[in-house]
Structure 1
Amino acid sequence: MTTHTALIVDDEPDIRDLLEITLTRMGIETLTAPDLASARVLLEKHRPHLCLTDMNLPDGNGIDLVGWIQQHLPATPVAVITAYGNMDTAIESLKAGAFDFVSKPVELPRLRELVNSALRLSEPQKEDEESRDEPGLLLGNSPEIRKLRNQTRKLARSQAPVFISGESGSGKELVARMIHLQGPRRGGPFIAVNCGAIPSELMESEFFGHKKGSFTGAVENKAGLFRSADGGTLFLDEVADLPLAMQVKLLRAIQEKAVRPVGDTKEVPVDIRVLSATHKNLPELVQEGSFRQDLFYRINVIELAVPPLRARPDDIPLLADHILGRIAREYECDPATLTAAAIERLKHYDFPGNVRELENILERAFTLCDDDRIDAEDLHLGNGVVPTPSGQPTVAPGDAGEPDGAPVPEGEIDLEGYLESIERQAIEKALEATRWNKTAAAKRLGISFRALRYRLKKLGME
């Protein structure tokens, strides 16, 4: 079993002794240094698995050491010990490349969590099925996507809050998941939440949990998203949609690393890494006063920009091949391929919906193409309206249109469910008329056999 080594850098003997005793009890060999000069000597000689450094040292500060380690020993995580409540210094150290920080007076449970997380970075990473499949939408060889992959790997080694910016459908959640999977928290949960999808009156309970009986409808205890993500990563998507009152509570929870469930009098400590994202212009919202500046600085320690799909058209063939393969496996059909004309059409399309739109286009084309080949006209890349021979517009394949002769229900309806029920009835009638011969039923419906297979699978009719 490999024995881990840690370097402790602090000019106060009492602090060095406390940290040394704590780490020794964890089975870690320790080295100590009172200043930057001696710390650099020990780092070069022993190359420890972890470095803990105080911020204020006789010949410089901890951020100087963070920078030196980043340059000479980038594989060694370094954590900075900061003065209590000095978040500016903590954020500065994270931006310089520190793995994490801990405030004085040092709380030993928090220190042990930090040390264990840091040491997991030196363990060999097992590539499981999940981590092999997940990079799907980060596929590509363009300079933009290579840069994003490198940044993702680097940020995975830190505990710094990361703000992921990018257009809708560009893959922000996937980037967050990759940061989680490649970091020391990969064994813990990854909890993603769309902040805009939670009603404001339920937000505090959803985020922090509640005690049974704390309000009408609270029939049992609820952990909440923060505690559900304990030991792992909490991804706050569309964070710009949080109301101001919730922003205050979120800031406190992030800074204190603790939450207070609704109806409880005690705070519960949580060990999570917070990643956030939005497609909105957050600095602009800060200027307008609809997003708190202090929360913005807390979640935006490091910003990671996800490029739009139109900025990397040469990645489209590889992405499309991956997506079509997944669709074929999902619907148990033979895979389809794109013709050269279809690829060129995709490369010159603007993709306002980015990768998500590419997936939708290919899924629709997959069900409509013949002979396992998707040609340019199968993509139906236009404004959603395809002219008919008479010059009158008709709804493009895949768009919602009213079935001939179908009554339109009045009042509030579930349009998606209504259209599915019409589709289900038409398929059932065709199958019954052909004695469940799928090839004949597809012909009767005027669609390809592949399209029928796809719809049967999607509607759960197989």
Structure 2
Amino acid sequence: MANSPRILLVDDEPDLLDLMELTLVKMGLETDRAVSVAEAQARLKQTHYDLCLTDMRLGDGEGLEVIAAASALAAPVPVAVITAYGNAGNAVAALKAGAFDYLAKPVALDQLRALVKSALKIPEAMQADNSARDLIGQSATMQDIRARIAKLARTQAPVHIAGESGSGKELAARLIHRLGNRADKPFVAVNCGAIPETLMESEFFGYRKGAFTGADADRNGFFQAADGGTLFLDEVADLPLSMQVKLLRVLQEKKVRKVGATTEEPVDVRIISATHQNLAALVESGRFRQDLYYRLNVIDLVMPSLRDRVEDIHEMARFLLDKLGGAEVKLDRDAEKALSAYAFPGNVRELENTLERALALCEDQHITAADLSLAPALPATNGAPGSKYPLQDYLDQMERVAILEALEQTRHNKTAAARVLGVTFRSLRYRLERLGIE
């Protein structure tokens, strides 16, 4: 029997090492740890690894040194880096040095699992059906989605993915990339709503040394990092109009100009964009450029919400429980009924969080409806007497939906989510505690 793939985890934060190790062990993988560059270099020389995950900043050096050590081996080891949230400079530097992908802190476990599966070259059919948790399901809707994604992968045309928060837009984009002819090139995901407007141009296009205070060396941007591969523009509707103009030019000319540069350089990227907002409506209201809309929306893909494919919930729940380490755990009949009856405003991500919490609460490998701790279903709003009563339950559910959407939009950055919601961080923290949102 072949040995399980072995992964080297390099980080000086014990809690993060524990989290990653637990996640990978549940996937059937073997792991080793290193807490410094020196220890990582020694382990890479002593043991064969199928993958290395390293932080960019370690006590005795940089993750770039780990990349160099892994690349210098007779059988080079693929390396993915973990960067501080919003630090595109480090991510771009790592990709340029030879890293095949990166994760931002706080590390999202679904992204970690997807990255590892892609790196380990799991057979294509398994990746298409199993690595993207939101693409699980045998409903006619999901079969159509998978067939459409397979067709989109064979083209190079820009794709715009619409759908609610948590419906699997990024996972669909990654699958389009992975099944296409750019699969061996970078996939760079950018959350357009998480970048300050003052930094957008330098983050997207890079900059020259001396272009502004603090620019002490030339640096590439997202477009250069994705050269040859795919650039995924998540929440593209959040781009300010000034940046929309610059993006349109790049798409038309296929060239970028770094901040502080006098010449342009060619880039070859496939653009996939996504948003949970209605782009056509934003064009009508003047908040999104019509010419850019037509450039991005060459082909569209609409991801269904979980409540629109209720018949997939039980299969999805079983799949997620297995991935969360609950292969022996059973859902009782009332729990299954509760899952089918719940609206899941946060879609599959909310389902996964619900099951992860239930795993911690359940007894005797048996999940009950009480273990799921689902909020009351959103009352019907058909105008019948009492349809919005009791009022507090209705308001709580509406508030919960808004908060979950803001958290999804900002990749669970609570400070950014508070800004989106127009409340203080303290107010958001209080609301999260009151509503039981983790």
TM-score, normalisation: structure 1: 0.55
Indicate conservation of the 8 Å contact 1:334/1:372, yes or no.
no
| Separation of aligned partners in 2, 1:334 and 1:300 | 41
1:177 aligned onto 2:174: yes
**Sequence identity percentage:** 55
Cα deviation, residue 348, structure 1: 1.3
Pick one of 298, 301, 306 that aligns with 1:304. 301
Structure 1 position 317 matched with structure 2 position 314: yes
CA displacement at 1:168 relative to structure 2: 0.8
1:167 alignment counterpart: 164
Give, as a single letter, the amino acid of the residue that structure 2 aligns with 1:281.
Answer: N
What is aligned with 1:217?
214
2:361 maps to what in 1? 368
Give the match for residue 254 of structure 1: 251
Q: 3-state SS of the aligned residue for 1:164? A: strand
Would you identify which runs of 4 or more consecutive aligned residues in structure 1 move more than 4 Å? Answer: 128-133, 411-416
Q: Give the distance between the partners of 2:126 and 2:307, measured in 1 at CA.
A: 30
Structure 2's unaligned 5+ residue stretches are 1-121, 378-392, 401-423
**Map of 1:282 onto structure 2:** 279
SS of equivalent residue, structure 1 residue 347: helix
Instruction: Answer yes or no: is the 8 Å Cα contact 1:226–1:234 preserved in 2.
Output: yes
In the TM superposition, residue 252 of structure 1 has moved relative to its aligned partner by 0.6
Match among 326, 338, 350 for residue 357 of structure 1: 350
Q: Which residue of 1 aligns with 2:291?
A: 294
State the match for 1:436 in structure 2: none
1:135 Cα deviation from its structure 2 partner = 2.7
Answer whether contact 2:321 2:327 (CA < 8 A) is retained: no
Question: For each residue in 1:347-367, what CA deviation from the matched residue of structure 2 results, as whole angstroms up to 9, or x when unmatched?
Answer: 111111111111111111111
Instruction: Provide the residue aligned with 2:390 in structure 1.
Output: none
Equivalent positions of 1:36-435 (< 5 A) are: 127=124, 133-328=130-325, 335-383=328-376
1:133 positional shift: 4.6
Residues 208 and 261 of structure 1 are in contact (CA less than 8 Å); yes or no, is this contact kept in structure 2? yes
Structure 1's 303 and 343: CA in aligned 2 closer, same or farther, altered over 3 A?
same
Aligned in 2, Cα 1:367/1:248: closer, same or farther, shift over 3 Å? same
CA deviations 1:219-267 (Å, max 9, x no partner) are 2222110110111100001000000000000011111111111011111
Q: CA deviation at 1:321?
A: 1.1
RMSD of aligned Cα (Å):
3.2
- Select between 147-156 and 347-356 the one with higher mean Cα deviation: 347-356
Greater RCO, 1 or 2 (C-alpha within 8 Å, sep 6+) = 2
What's 1:61 paired with? none
For 1:196 and 1:363, the matched residues in 2 are separated by 28
Map 1:434-445 to 2 at 5 A: none
1:99-135 CA-partner distances (Å, limit 9, x unpaired): xxxxxxxxxxxxxxxxxxxxxxxxxx96398666523
- Provide TM-score, normalisation by structure 2: 0.58
Cα 1:361–1:260 change in 2 (3 A) is same
Give the Cα–Cα distance (whole angstroms) in 2 for the partners of residues 241 and 197 of structure 1.
9
Larger Rg: 1
Aligned to 2:132, the other structure's residue is in SS state helix
Question: Is the 1:134–1:178 Cα contact (8 Å) retained in structure 2?
Answer: no
Q: Give the drift of 1:336.
A: 2.1
Q: Distance in 2 between matches of 1:128 and 1:250?
A: 35
1:323-373 Cα deviation digits (max 9, x unpaired): 111111xxxx76422112211111111111111111111111111011111
Q: Measure, in 1, the Cα distance between the counterparts of 2:189 and 2:298.
A: 19
Partner Cα separation in structure 2 for residue 197 and residue 412 of structure 1:
16
Amino acid of the structure 1 residue aligned with 2:257: R
Number of equivalent positions: 273
Query: For residues 348 and 309 of structure 2, what CA distance do their matches in structure 1 show?
Result: 11
Quick check: 2:129–2:135 contact (8 Å CA) kept in 1? no
Task: Kindly indicate whether the alpha-carbon contact (under 8 Å) linking 2:130 and 2:136 is maintained by their aligned counterparts in 1.
Answer: no
Question: 1:142-199 CA deviation, whole Å, 9 max, x = no partner?
Answer: 0110000000000000001011000111010011011001111111111111100000
Distance 1:220 1:238 in 2: 30
- Matched position secondary structure for 1:274: strand
Amino acid at match of 2:286: G
Is the alpha carbon distance of 1:350 and 1:342 closer, same or farther for their aligned partners in structure 2, counting shifts above 3 Å?
A: same
Is 1:169–1:357's contact at 8 Å kept on the other side of the alignment?
yes
Mapped contact 2:237–2:277 kept (Cα < 8 A): yes
